[in-house]
Structures are given as structure tokens and as C-alpha cells.
Amino acid sequence: MSPRVGILLVNLGTPDSAKPRAVKRYLTQFLTDGRVIDIPFFLRQLLVRGVIIPKRYRNSAKLYQAIWKPEGSPLKIYSYELKDKLQEALGNSFQVELAMRYQTPSIETGLENLRSCQKIVLIPLFPQYASATTGSVYQEVFRILQTWEVIPSLVCMDGFATHEEVIHAFCQAARQYDLAQYDHFLFSYHGLPERQVQKADRCHHCLKTPNCCQELTDKNRTCYAAQCVATTAAICRQLKLPQEAVSHCYQSRLGKDPWIQPYASNVLEKLAKEGKKKILVFSPAFVADCLETLQEIGIEYQAEFKQWGGEKLDLVEGLNARPEWVSALKSIILTQLPSKERNECTRSPNI
């Protein structure tokens, strides 16, 4: 008997290898997505294929090579481990598949593997909703499903920025460190162009009112920056981090257009010049360690901080396949299902 409920976990993606050709292929697919670089099609193709890719792909390949493991991409390794552990936690009434928005395994392959399921729960693995991440995953899933003769019931998760069990998982990852030895805590999130944040604003107040992102409300619940601030606040409350010892920033800019601020490098330089010596960095926009955490934070940020006078910069590892993260995902899935499927799952072996 086929499982009644299919679970499709979707992460951003990764090159199939760290060789320049594979990195070029990945970056091309990623950056030509109209939700990632949201400019007209012709200009986007010209910019990406004619300017960005030729300038960046070889250097990007070197960065991937610095974090690549013998088994392959860290993001893919951790994502498969998560898939396997979640399958074990949910039991045989569910079928868990993994997909990447860009490159392999593709969303189309993941959906095809779930075609016999009566219901599919779609979980983009991005805690905070953004058009460039979760929105792009939705668009690709809908594009594929519209070609199916029989479309299954579909449940879409649009983020879990302040979900209690997810916050607990982030905190448990942080508790591996002696928090008392650090004199500052930095929360670094992937950046977005300001125009993309404003385009998601349904109430026409984004970046127009003072401190508009400091509290998550019905007005700004679709605001990526407000969701990030809410995640930071939730983790700080649970860990009891003093407000004066916490900073919030955004990393990974591309291009010359203004992105949401403050920028990570600027914050790090300011902290070093203020005499902060030991910093612990959280990166709660990423649930699996990847180029942006392992290389950009773990290598680049660390070197910059020491250059500016700091002594130590540590990175809280991603959730990867931690038991608390598996448990949180199981809880998220069960709350989306009627009691019949929930009861079936609770009879399955637990983690």
C-alpha cells in the first residue's frame, strides 16, 4: 500500500561538484530565476550570463572547494541525513523526499516520487518567508503540478520564523558553547534587496516608518526583515541573552542596489573597534550548513574580525539533522494534518 501522505523537503540547492563547470551551471540556474534577480527577463539574462557568471564562477568554485567534503556538498549531505531521520520519525504511513530548488535532486523528481500519495506537504526549508526562496519553490511546484492529470491535495508551509520547537532547536545548537565566555552575540541573516522587501509589503509602510521591522505584526508578517528580527528576539529570550550584547545584521550582498541593513561586515568592524574580542555568530536563516555559513561566516568573517582587532569568532552550527530539528519538523507536519493522519503517525516509532 502506498503511503497516504508525501513530504517534500526543499532546500535552495548546491552545485553537483566543486568544479568550475558545475558551479557555473548552478549559479546560472540560480541567478536567472526571476524571483532571485527581479528585473526584466532580457536584462536579467544579459546581466547574469554576460557579466556576473563570467566574473564569479571560478572564484566561487574555489570557495566551494574550501568547504567541500569527501562525500560531497555539506548542504546536500546534511539535507539527506535530515530526510532519512524524518522518515524514520514519521513511519511508513509517510514518504519523505528531498529536493533542491536549483540542480539536483530536482523538485520535479521529488514530486514524481510522491505522485501516488493522496496528499503532499510541501516544506521549503527556509525559516523566514521570502519571494526569492519560499516563493520561488512554490512557483516551481505549481508549474510542475499544473501538468498532472490528477493533482493531489497540497499543504504548503510558508515559514516557521518563531515556531517554538524550531527556536528550541537553534538554542540547543547554541548551548554546545559556553555562552558566558563571549562578550557579544551576532545574528547574521542572508540579505535581500530593499526593493524585494518593499514589494512584499501589503500595507505600504515598509522602510517608511521608524523601526517598522522591530515587531512582527499582521501588517508586516510577510516582511522578511521583520521575520528575521522576530527569530533573533525569540532565540535571545530563550537563551536569556542581554539585549546590549546582541547585534543583528545581513550578509551575502550582490550588486550595487541597496540591500536591507545593517551589513554584516560593517557591524563586525564596529564591534571590533568597540573592543569586542569574542563573538558567537548565529545564522538562523540557514537550517543546513552551506557556503554562506561555513565559508562566509566561518572563514571570511573570522579573518576580517581578527584583522580589525578581535580575538575569536565562533559559528553556531546549522540545525543540519539534529534530533530537536527532526522533532520540530515532525510537529510542524502533524499540525497540518487531520486527526486520521496524525493518529496514524503517532502509532509509528518515535525518534
pLDDT of residue 212 exceeding 90: no
Of the pLDDT bands very low, low, confident and very high (cuts 50, 70, 90), residue 351 is very low
Q: Name the percent of the chain lying above pLDDT 90.
A: 84
Lowest mean pLDDT among 188-197, 198-207, 329-338, 340-349: 340-349
The DSSP code for 287 is S
pLDDT at 345 over 80: no
CA distances, 99 to each of 31, 96, 197 (Å): 18, 10, 26
Side-chain half-sphere exposure of 54, counting CA atoms within 13 A:
6
> Shortest CA distance to 232 belongs to which of 127, 328, 78, 75?
127
Spatial distance between the Cα atoms of 299 and 327, rounded to a whole number of angstroms: 30
**Would you state the pLDDT for residue 253?**
84
pLDDT by residue (tens digit) across 248-264?
999 988 878 899 999 99
What is the predicted pLDDT for the residue at 126? 98
Q: What is the mean pLDDT of residues 278-297?
A: 97
State residue 343's pLDDT score.
66
Residue 66 pLDDT > 80, yes or no? Answer: yes
Looking at residue 349, its pLDDT comes to: 47
**Is pLDDT above 80 for 19?**
yes
Q: Is 189 helix (H, G, I), strand (E, B) or coil?
A: strand
Please say whether the beta carbons of 231 and 161 come within 8 A. yes
Annotated binding residues for Fe(2+), written as ranges, equal: 190, 292
The full set of domain ranges for the chain reads 5-160+323-346, 178-315
Which residue bears the cell 502533524? 334
Arithmetic mean of pLDDT, 274-302: 97
Fold of 178-315: Rossmann fold (3.40.50)
Binding residues: 190, 292
CA 289, 100, 126, 153 torsion-angle sign? negative
Cα–Cα distance measured from residue 280 to residue 278, given in angstroms and rounded to the nearest whole number: 7
The total of other beta-carbon atoms located within 10 Å of residue 234's CB is 21
Alpha-carbon distance of 324 to 170, in angstroms, equals: 9
| CA distances (Å), origin 252, targets 18, 20, 301 | 19, 20, 11
Q: For the chain, give the longest Cα–Cα distance.
A: 63
DSSP string of 12-54, one letter each residue: EE--SSSSHHHHHHHHHHHHT-TTTS-S-HHHHHHHIIIIIHH
**Band of pLDDT at residue 206, cut at 50, 70 and 90:** confident
Average pLDDT over residues 119-142: 97
Mean pLDDT of the chain: 93
Q: Are 119 and 152 in contact (CB under 8 A)?
A: yes
C-alpha cell belonging to residue 143: 508549474
Query: Can 5-160+323-346 and 178-315 be said to share one CATH topology?
Result: yes
3-state secondary structure of 290: coil
pLDDT of amino acid 346: 55
Assign 2 a pLDDT band (cuts: 50, 70, 90). Answer: low
pLDDT of residue 171: 98
Mean pLDDT value of segment 157-170? 96
- Assess whether pLDDT exceeds 70 at residue 341: no
Instruction: Give the mean model confidence (pLDDT) for residues 85-110.
Output: 97
Specify the pLDDT at position 216.
80
Please tell me the distance from the alpha carbon of residue 315 to that of residue 283, in angstroms, as a whole number. Answer: 8
The architecture CATH gives domain 5-160+323-346 = 3-Layer(aba) Sandwich (3.40)
Measured in whole angstroms, the distance separating CA 192 from the mean position of its chain's CA atoms is: 13
